[in-house]
Chain A
Amino acid sequence: MAKRVLLVDDEKDMLFMLRFRMEAAGYEVISAEDGIEGYASALRDKPDIILLDVLLPGIDGLQLCRKLKDSEALSGIPVLILTASNVKDVERKCSDAGADGYLKKPFDSLELLGKVKFLLGDSCGREESGE
């Protein structure tokens, strides 16, 4: 059965490209354009992996990540953070928020696919640090 990927990003075009890429790689893609919808979708649609952008309207990506990890039902889902942010210590912040990995935009699509595969294939493993 195809794995389900939840994309959360407020950039429609980004969602468009990612969907293309993911579906071509054989994944089922669902998406949300803000944090709250993202959370709701996670609850409702039970994805196998969540790809999260940091800068989101409403609740920001890191907070959402924290929420997901704190929720009993959802903590098992691996979260990969994609960020174009230049914030200091973004690596640490992602790690603090409980993310399982992160990738900086613009990213290399092969790298992205690799990471997704890894996270899906080894659902109890923990990545040390992004990149």
Chain B
Amino acid sequence: MTDKLLRESGERLNSIFDSMQTGIVIIDAGTHTIVDANNAAVRMIGAQRREIIGHICFKFICPMESGGCPITEFGEYLEKSECMLLRADGNRVPVFKSASTITLDNHKYIIESLVDISERKWMEELLIESEEKYRVIFENTGAATIIADEDRMIYMANREFVRISGYAREEIEGKKYWTEFVHPQDLERMQCYHLDRRACCPGRKTPDKYEFRFLDKSGAVHNCLVTVAMIQGTKKSVASIVDITEHKRTAEIIHEKEERLRNIIANVPGVIFRSSFNADRTMEFISNAVENLSGYKPEDFMSGGSRAYTGIIHQEDRRRVGEIIGAAVAAKAQYAVEYRIFHAGGGQRWVLEKGQGVFSPEGAPLFLDGSIFDITERIQKEEEIRHVYRMMRSILEKAPMGIYTVNASGNIDYVNLSMLMISGVSREEFIGYNVYELPSYKRIGLDEKIKRAFDGESFFIGGVEYHGHKSEKNTIRNFTGMPLEEGHEKKVLVFVEDITERSRVEKLKDEFLNTVSHELRTPLAITREGLSLIIDRIAGDLNEKQAHILSVAKDNIDRLGRIINGLLDISKIDSGKVELKKSLVDMNALIRQVAVSFENRIRQRGLELRLDLPPEEISIYADSDKVTQIFVNLVGNALKFTEKGHIEISLKHSLGEITCAVRDSGAGISEENIPKLFSKFQQFGRKAGGGEKGTGLGLSIVKSLVELHKGAIRVESRLGEGSSFVFTLPSFNSEELFREYITNGIKDARSRDARVSLIMISVVDFEGVRQRIPQERLHAALRGMERLLEESLRRAGDVAVKDTCEIIVLLSDCPRESAVAVSGRLKETVLDYLRREGLDKEIKVDFGIATYPDEAGNDEELISKARNK
């Protein structure tokens, strides 16, 4: 029985022995040979059982050399130590080895148990590798990261954390709590989070990211964001801290900028918007200014708001606005459109919307961005301006004179209604006339005048007989023209007055005056002659009394005559009828003549006549009769008002003009009377009647005559201290004089559609002659020639004008052939004269002829043509 039990026990033990996963090797302690090994050990060793059994363990299963068995030699008791198992193929296998000694049958054996830990070892290695990896990541991550315990102890800190903390790693890990790095005000909150995250109840939603203020070693505060994750299965957490100070700062700046932008948008003079590209124009954004503009708030137009923007656009404008925007969007261009909107408070506003489309990458329109401006005021002003313009246009059209404008190429581009009425032509016809091509204009020289007006010369042509073309009747017109700057375009503005009727009336008046003058003068002449006959005792004798009475009567008849003359003169001057017959007047001679005619009368009054004249000859271009009349009037006045003393006539000469004065030592004129002096019919009382009785017209006529010559007159006088009448007359230079004279001649010819011929008589080599002949002789000769020519020319209208070396003779109504004949005659006369004076050798004269309009069109051409012959 015990055998069976033993056997069974032995079999049991064997099967346990063989099925054990742990390798067991029994080794003879003395010989160190392997006595037995279980299947597991055999597998581990990797050799056959029979090879193993009886093999020595050294260098076989144990890497040790013989004699170095740790168990037997050193009595070591091995318990679960890691060793290397040497396999049969030479590989080493990591094993857990336990070895103990047993004694069986008085024999010592070593029992080794081996557990293959190669897999475990491999896993350990993997783990280490992996741990390494994570450590590297942990260490090197840009965020400061720590791993903290439940008790808040920082168990691990990475490089970045160490850096921002300001401490050394040794001071932190396992030594510091994370709470030490938190700003006291944030601590409570952070503690809450810490606990919550570790709490089991998932109910409360704790964020995994929080902001807090981080305090470093120096106490500096950093605004940080911490992200905390729990390590699963533990109460440890991983916290990553990012310094968001910069980030916060940036956010502040952005906020500031946003604020500023908001303010700008609020202050911009217009509404800024982004609207959807839909029918309603729903606003994505619209600035607050829209409230001012429309009376509605921005929200009203935005999605969910109370109205559509297009709803406040005036119905009449909606379609146009839609079309314009649509077209711009289709063309991917900007648009600008003006339209009316209804204000919430009632009434309309005019707005200008400018914008452009915003497109998706595929090119589909998404939004419209733009601005809207209130232009109500501008529109109102425009309407006002338009209204004013319309009014002015109306005024212009109906002004009581013809008005038209000419552009630079001579075409008429505007004409008013009155002008059309004057001309009797339709508007379409009138516009398009070219002033340089109209024969009726050329005939009166209007084309020339207009051309010169473009250069800045305004003109006035009065009382021209105008023959229009077509059915236009002949009229008398005034033309006034002036340059006009219309922007940068030069134009000429022409005013036309039809004075046909007025001229007719003028003519009637003239005729009337003529008749009247004749009618007045005839009985006057008869009566005067009658009185004269009696006073002269032709009809018998007279006694003293009778003679005296009749003498007084005759004086008054004379006075009546003077009044009539004065009236007729004035009337002529007033109606601009007086034309000055200008010629070169020797002032010295003229004044002397006047003096001579007054000599007797002045002497009779016991007064002294003084002449203050310059030594040199002074000539001016004037009407000698009229100038004489001026002096006669002034001296006559002086005579009337001077009882004793002197009357002085003076002449002075300065640049471009002469100054004449008649001064007396008479009664003088009081201050209050001076302004009225030159008015008509003013007579101032005088005590003693010297000279003729006045008419009250004298000074008025004098003033008119002076001014007709383009001179000026003034009086200096004080009561009791005599008077001085001073007047100036322009003197001309000879070229001007020539020119004016010839121009007048041509104008005259033109107006009568006649010819005028110019004969130019010039002294050959005048300079040379001047050197050879003494001045007085030359002067005398020239004057002699001039006188001779004047005498030879029977008709008063042909007057010669003298220059120093040229004399011109203008013959009106004279065709060339006649001029040639006259010229021939004059030549003979002149040569004859020179011969008589013995100057025919020294002075040679040239005769040149030119005729207007045959040979020349204007004064310049005429002169040059005549000179060149």
A: residues with CB less than 8 A from B are 11, 13-14, 16-18, 20-21, 24, 55, 84-89, 91-92, 95-96, 105-107, 109, 128-129
Contacts and interface: CB of A to CB of B under 8 A. Distances in A.
A50 B771 CA distance: 53
Interface in B794-813: 794-797
B533 A17 contact: yes
Contacts of B520: 84
A57 to B, nearest CB: 13
Given A24-B536, A84-B520, A109-B536, 17 more contacts: A11-B522, A11-B526, A14-B526, A17-B530, A20-B538, A84-B518, A84-B521, A84-B522, A85-B517, A87-B514, A88-B577, A88-B579, A91-B796, A105-B525, A107-B525, A109-B532, A128-B791
- Report whether over half of chain B's contact residues are helix, strand or loop; otherwise say mixed: helix
Contact of A84 (B517, B536, B791): B517
B524 interface: yes
A45 B524 CA distance: 30
Q: How large is the interface on B (under 10, 10 to 19, 20 to 34, 35 or more residues)?
A: 20 to 34
A86 B521 CA distance: 10
Contacts of A91: 796
Contact of A20 (B533, B557, B558): B533
27 contacts: A11-B522, A11-B526, A14-B526, A14-B529, A17-B529, A17-B530, A17-B533, A20-B539, A24-B536, A55-B518, A84-B517, A84-B518, A84-B525, A85-B517, A86-B518, A87-B514, A88-B577, A91-B796, A96-B795, A105-B521, A105-B525, A106-B521, A106-B558, A109-B529, A109-B533, A109-B536, A128-B791
A95 B525 contact: no
Interface string B517-553: 1101111111011101100101100000000000000
B789 to A, nearest CB: 14
A106 B538 contact: no
Contact of B524 (A55, A85, A106): A106
Contacts of B579: 88
B227 to A, nearest CB: 120
A95 B522 contact: no
B518 A21 contact: no
A14 B518 contact: no
Contact of A86 (B517, B528, B533): B517
B797 to A, nearest CB: 6
User: Which of A11, A87, A106 gathers most chain B CB within 10 Å?
Assistant: A106
Contact of A85 (B518, B538, B539): B518
A95 B521 contact: no
B529 A95 contact: no
B568 interface: yes
Interface string B497-533: 0000000000000000110011011111110111011
Contacts of A109: 529, 532-533, 536
A89 B581 CA distance: 10
Given A95-B794, A105-B521, A21 B526 contact: no
A84 B536 CA distance: 23
Contacts of B524: 105-106
B561 interface: yes
A24 B537 CA distance: 10
Contacts of A87: 514
Nearest to B572: A86
A106 B796 contact: no
A35 to B, nearest CB: 16
B312 to A, nearest CB: 80
Contacts of B526: 11, 13-14, 16-17
A14 B525 contact: yes
Contacts of A92: 795-797
